[in-house]
Amino acid sequence: MTSFVGRRRELTEAKRLLSQTRLLTLTGVGGVGKTRLALRVAAELHRAFPDGVWLVDLASLEDPKLLPDTVATALDVSDQSARSSLEVLSAYLQDKRALLVLDNCEHLLDECATLVDTLLQTGPELRILATSRQALGVDGEWTLSVPPLSVPDLSRNQSASTLRQYDAVNLFAERAAAVLPSFRIDDRNAAAVARLCRRLEGIPLAIELAAVRLRSLSVHQILDRLDDRFQLLTGGSRTALPRQRTLRALIDWSFDLCSPEEQALWARLSIFSGGFDLDAAEAVCSDGELPPEKIFDLVAGLIDKSVLVREENGSRVRYRLLETVRQYGRERLAEIGGETELRQRHCDWYRRLAEQARAEWFGERQADWYAWLQAELPNIRIALDFSLEARYEPRAATAIAAALGMHWLGSGRLREGRHWLARALQADPEASPLRAKALWQAGKLAYFCADMAESLAWYQELSLLVATLDDPAARAYLTHFEALVALFKGDFARSVACYDEACERYRAIGDAAGVAIARSESILPASLAGDERVRALYEESLALCSAAGDRLVRSWAMWVKSSDACRRGDVREAAALARESLELKRPFNDRVGIGLCLETAAWVAAAQGQGERAARLLGVLYATVWREIDPSAADFRDRMTLHSETEAKTRRLLGDRAFPAAFAEGTRFTFEQAVAYALEETVEFASPSRPASSAALTRREMQIAELVAQGLSNKEIAAQLVIAQRTAETHVEHILRKLGFTSRTQIAAWVTERRAAPESS
């Protein structure tokens, strides 16, 4: 990122306001520097928010319905549960001392207002910094209008050195030096620079666009040309243009200075969402007029003109249009026309890649495909949306959503996957092998979200469809689905038999991923049924994964085997497998899988007599993992048994005073810290850990704990303290969590014990 210039006053002011209000919106015209300022404020405030500072860029979000999902994803909060994303988010943020930065809210004002309002009500320690052209209009919102950078006063004679006190000049000088390393402000060009910055009204984006012109023009020449343009715009009058129009004029000028081919490309690139790579630009934006082999040079030209921003993402380079510049491109595209064909090519391109990702996903390139899909999600969403809304082959949406089945699962986006699959299945009802595939994916995602009603509905539909199709792949999916249904019903022997059959069917159609997935899933019912084939099934799964170069399926097989080891009481094997499984999952965001590995790790710690470690891991599972995910999402019944076993043993190891303390420490881990801790890496805590003594409770919570100990219900507590019942409930939930308890009786016991033996610390 380029250097940050000036803004001392605004930075101080924004930080001061944020210490007084919980919602601050930075407003101002496009290009004035709201986003840059917000990022800077967030960086400087990092230490003030022990639970984190999150940035969510909403510019590329087109479907307002996906707002809560987008925020949840940016926060890395998984969305498996049957609850709405907004509920999951509020639950996650309810006790966080965190700053949420929502960048570019202007096109989603109403939705942002609702979201912000809800989050602020449920999370008393949360603060939100928004940027938007307009205020959100939420109660309690304060706004800070971001002014342009300071510009020189023309009535005085400015020398090169006095100009340095103006931020606009400094920005110009910096950007100029980037284009022309020898550029200096000296007494010969000082007056022209001063006039130019004023002319541009100190709008950073305008200054950046003008500075790149130094490649071919002098400051004087730039100024002359701009003067001509502005004369034209104001009809010769001397009054200044409104700021939007100044910027507009600048962008117009940049546009006019592009070659016709660059102009066409600029307009076309505006349909991408959240950036794009060169391959996509070549495939989507080229046609008879703009042959693919020219795109590379044109992209380079647009980068030189500061129209495109280059971004490095791992080993790959992506490009992005600044939001204001992108919107301009969209307007131009509307004039030039051809948007529909462009969107069709965009949709086709992402469909092709989604299918390729599906084909190659089970293999060496798994992590690459994963990273690619994560980066391209905004584009994939608009392709899906276009296909469904514009009725451009709803089949394309079905194909994309179904092809991404494993990705929805492996990246913790189960809810989003279900959303798209359901829409596609509705829009494209024709009986086809593709429909069978989509039904299977929809059923599987619902199953992993523990939404059995919906899962069984898809199952029914799939079995009806299979009867009318003569499609071996569809039969394989149905058999695989039967195995899951039998597992759910507790008919383990039947489940194993169906898995065997599914493997056969997948093998017959050459679906290696299908074989490996079904094989590794079958270890679970085999283990639950006490089938002696467990080891053989496991080894076969690993062999299949190794042959393909896969990590994720292998990690699943390892977890299933580790829980089998728990069941047999083989601590060493359980520990080694859970650990390796966790390592394998690291490049992915497989939250359910990670949670399950942490369960095993906790069990292992308890079994080895490491009470503190076990209690911390239980705290993590309670507060971070299953709270985010919704326990039912991973409701393998034996997990619950294992969990209660671990908890009972850990309590016995530590006693009723040390257990809550260690548990409470675990509740303060972040997901990443939890994984690192489970892998026995050193974990650094953001906040000093508070002991789970009464000090962990606020005065109010202590008061409520006393009332709980007197046997009062939430309703009675609410009446006695004159607070809402919901508030009383929330307090009690907080108390339970902070102390690591699961019942009111435990609170009562704890209060009584404290009275008897007041804490020494």
Ligand X SMILES: Nc1ncnc2c1ncn2[C@@H]1O[C@H](COP(=O)(O)OP(=O)(O)O)[C@@H](O)[C@H]1O
Per-residue binding string, ligand X, 207-236, x by CB under 6 A, is -x----------------------------
The window from 2-10, 214-222, 241-249, 447-455 that contacts ligand X (CB under 6 A) reads: 2-10
Residue with the CB atom nearest ligand X in the bound state: 33
Nearer to ligand X, 173 or 584 (CB): 173
Four-residue CA torsion sign, 248, 254, 258, 263: negative
In angstroms, what CA-CA distances link 204 with 232, 243, 320, 527? 23, 12, 18, 64
Count of C-beta atoms within a 10 Å radius of residue 233: 15
CA atoms of 150 and 203, how far apart (whole Å): 9
* Nearest to Mg ion of 4, 488 (CB atom): 4
Question: Residue 659 Cβ, how far from ligand X at the closest point, in Å?
Answer: 49
Q: What angle do CA 377, 381, 387 make, to 5 degrees?
A: 145
Min separation Cβ 24 and ligand X, Å: 15
Query: Which of positions 89-128 make contact with Mg ion (CB under 5 A)?
Result: 104
Give the CA distances from residue 293 to residues 278, 298, 318, in Å, rounded to whole numbers and listed in that order. 11, 10, 18
Total binding residues for ligand X by CB under 6 A? 21
> Residue 742: which of 653, 623, 611, 641 has the closest Cα?
623
Contact mark string toward ligand X, 12..51, x via CB under 6 A: ----------------x-xxxxxxx---------------
132 binds Mg ion (CB under 5 A): no
Q: Please tell me the distance from the alpha carbon of residue 429 to that of residue 431, in angstroms, as a whole number.
A: 6
Q: Which does 483 bind (CB under 5 to 8 A by kind): Mg ion, ligand X, none?
A: none
Among the residue ranges 5-13, 50-58, 582-590, 742-750, the one whose residues contact ligand X (CB under 6 A): 5-13
How far apart are the C-alpha atoms of 325 and 250, rounded to whole Å? 11
Compute the distance between CA of residue 492 and CA of residue 495 in angstroms, rounded to an integer: 5
Query: In the complex with Mg ion, which residue's Cβ is closer, 101 or 582?
Result: 101
- State the minimum distance, in angstroms, from the CB of residue 132 to Mg ion: 9
- Structural tokens at position 568: 């047999």
Closest approach of ligand X to the CB of residue 337, in Å: 27
- The window from 29-37, 60-68, 570-578, 610-618 that contacts Mg ion (CB under 5 A) reads 29-37
* Minimum CB distance to ligand X smaller for 34 or for 627: 34
x/- mask, ligand X, residues 151-190, rule CB under 6 A, reads --------------------x-------------------
CA 588 to chain centre: 13
Q: What is the rounded end-to-end Cα distance, in angstroms, of the chain?
A: 49
Interface with Mg ion, residue 324, by CB under 5 A: no
Q: Write the single-letter amino acid at 390.
A: A
Residues 738-757 that bind ligand X (CB under 6 A): none
What tokens does 47 get?
């230490």
Q: Could you tell me which residues come within 8 angstroms of residue 750 by beta carbon, excluding any fewer than 6 positions away?
A: 656, 660, 705, 739, 741
* Residue 392 engages ligand X in binding (rule: CB under 6 A): no
How do strand 53-57 and strand 99-103 relate by DSSP bridges?
Answer: parallel
- x/- binding map, residues 52-91, to Mg ion, per CB under 5 A? ----------------------------------------
For residue 6, state whether it binds ligand X (rule: CB under 6 A).
yes
**Least distance in angstroms from the C-beta of 203 to ligand X:** 8
Interior/surface letters 67-93, b for 16+ CB within 10 angstroms, e for the rest: bbbbbbbbbbbbbbbbeebbebbbbbb
Residues 6+ apart with CB under 8 A from 670: 51, 52, 624, 686
State the nearest-atom distance from the C-beta of 125 to Mg ion, in Å. Answer: 27
Site for ligand X in 104-143 (CB under 6 A): 131
Q: Are 271 and 232 in contact (CB under 8 A)?
A: no
Closest CA to 21 of 108, 141, 130: 141
Single out the segment in contact with Mg ion by CB under 5 A; choices: 28-36, 159-167, 237-245, 485-493: 28-36
The DSSP-derived string for 43-83 is: HHTGGG-TT-EEEEE-TT---GGGHHHHHHHHTT----SSS
Q: How far is the CB of 59 from Mg ion (least distance, A)?
A: 7
Is residue 274 involved in binding ligand X (CB under 6 A)? no
Closer residue to Mg ion in complex, CB, 36/345: 36
CA distance 540 to 518: 11
Q: How far apart are CA 41 and CA 24, in angstroms?
A: 11
Contacts of 482 (CB under 8 A, 6+ apart): 498, 502
Of the residues 152, 204, 275, 443, which one makes contact with ligand X according to CB under 6 A: 204
Provide the minimum distance between the beta carbon of 59 and ligand X in the complex, in angstroms, as a whole number. 9
Q: Verify binding: residue 273, Mg ion, rule CB under 5 A.
A: no
- The smaller minimum CB distance to ligand X, of residues 147 and 338, is found at 147
Phi and psi torsions of 452, nearest 5° = -70, -30
Nearest residue (CB) to ligand X, 31 versus 152: 31
Shortest Å, Cβ 224 to ligand X: 24
Helices (H), 390-413: 394-403, 405-410
Q: Tell me which of Mg ion, ligand X, none is bound by residue 25, counting a contact when its beta carbon lies within the kind-specific cut-off of 5 to 8 angstroms.
A: none
Q: How far is the CB of 438 from ligand X (least distance, A)?
A: 39
Residues β-bridged to residue 160: none
Q: Which of 7, 195, 213, 627 binds ligand X (CB under 6 A)?
A: 7
Nearer to Mg ion, 35 or 286 (CB): 35
**Binding span for ligand X by CB under 6 A among 3-11, 331-339, 530-538, 555-563:** 3-11
The reply on whether position 35 binds Mg ion by CB under 5 A is: yes
**Across-strand partners of 130?**
25, 102
Q: From ligand X, Mg ion, none, which one binds at residue 32 (CB under 5 to 8 Å depending on kind)?
A: ligand X
CA distance 570 to 607: 10
Q: Which is nearer to ligand X, 44 or 729 (CB)?
A: 44
Distance, CA of 383 to chain centre = 19
- Please report how close the Cβ of residue 176 comes to Mg ion at its closest, in angstroms: 23
Closest to ligand X by CB, 56 vs 574, is 56
Closer to Mg ion by Cβ: residue 104 or 562: 104
Binders of ligand X in range 277-336 (CB under 6 A): 322-324
Which token pair is 646? Answer: 């671990």
Q: How far is the CB of 5 from Mg ion (least distance, A)?
A: 16
The verdict on 148 binding ligand X (CB under 6 A) reads no
Is 548 among the residues that bind ligand X (CB under 6 A)? no
CB 420 to Mg ion: min, Å: 28
Residues lying near ligand X in the complex (CB under 6 A): 2, 4-7, 28, 30-36, 131, 171, 204-205, 208, 322-324
Residues lying near Mg ion in the complex (CB under 5 A) are found at 35, 104
